[in-house]
Amino acid sequence: MTSVKTEEKQPTVLEQMGGVSGMLYSSLPVLVFVIVNFTTKNLMAAIISSLAAAVVIGVVLAMRKGTIQPAISAVFGVGIAAFIAYKTGEAKGFFLFGIWQSVVYGSAFLLSIIVRWPLAGVIWTFLNGRDRSWREDKATVRDYDIATFVWALVFFARFVVQRWLYDEDQVGWLAVARLGMGYPLMAIALLATVWAVRRADKRLKEAEEAAEAKAKAETEAATEAVLARTADDLLTPDMDELKRVVDAESRDKSRD
């Protein structure tokens, strides 16, 4: 009886992030905050509206039986951003958490390159349930270093631009930078990661095939050697036994 082995399809990175709709949903609270703050000039109204938008997103996603991960992230992020804006009493404080978050993330990605555990490879293998055999290949680690460096550049670019806008008190442009330097730049970093993954998978596959071919060749060589020795044993007479037979015949003739 034969059984067909089916591999469970792994969700893509985009699907794990909630898809395009999930990314759009997570951006709505920021837009709501800026629009309400601009139209009403009331910071508390903007804070409450953005928090309400995040909660509504969670309810909508739950009712649609979709992933609520974007909503959880939105509520958490908006909650911290709203708290900072409330404590500072300034609308631009809403973006302060994200600005410094970019520094932390960028530093973490950069540090991972230095310690030879590039986060692009670590995170990708974790999300897709793969092992870490790629770390044994220097060329693969180098490819993931490049992808990780792209991620670090994205986060540091966000920090530099948004910090400058924060110092200039440009709340509207902060929102534009937050959204414009969010998923578009992340898409570039993801492309760099996919490039590294494909090169790594191709290289590791070739190495596995080479190892299998070598093992097969060694097995065939060992089998041929055993067969050759067996044939020699069968074809080559045992000289000691032959000598004993001849001596026995000689003794028999002498007795006669």
- What is the token pair recorded at 121? 């490879």
Q: Flag the least confident range among 83-97, 143-157, 179-193, 210-224.
A: 210-224
- What is the token pair recorded at 87? 């404590």
Q: pLDDT at residue 165 above 80?
A: yes
Q: pLDDT at residue 20 above 60?
A: no
- Average pLDDT in the chain: 78
Q: Predicted confidence band at 231 (pLDDT cuts at 50, 70, 90)?
A: low
Q: pLDDT at residue 218 above 60?
A: yes
The Cα 50–Cα 97 span in angstroms is 15
Widest Cα–Cα separation across the chain: 135
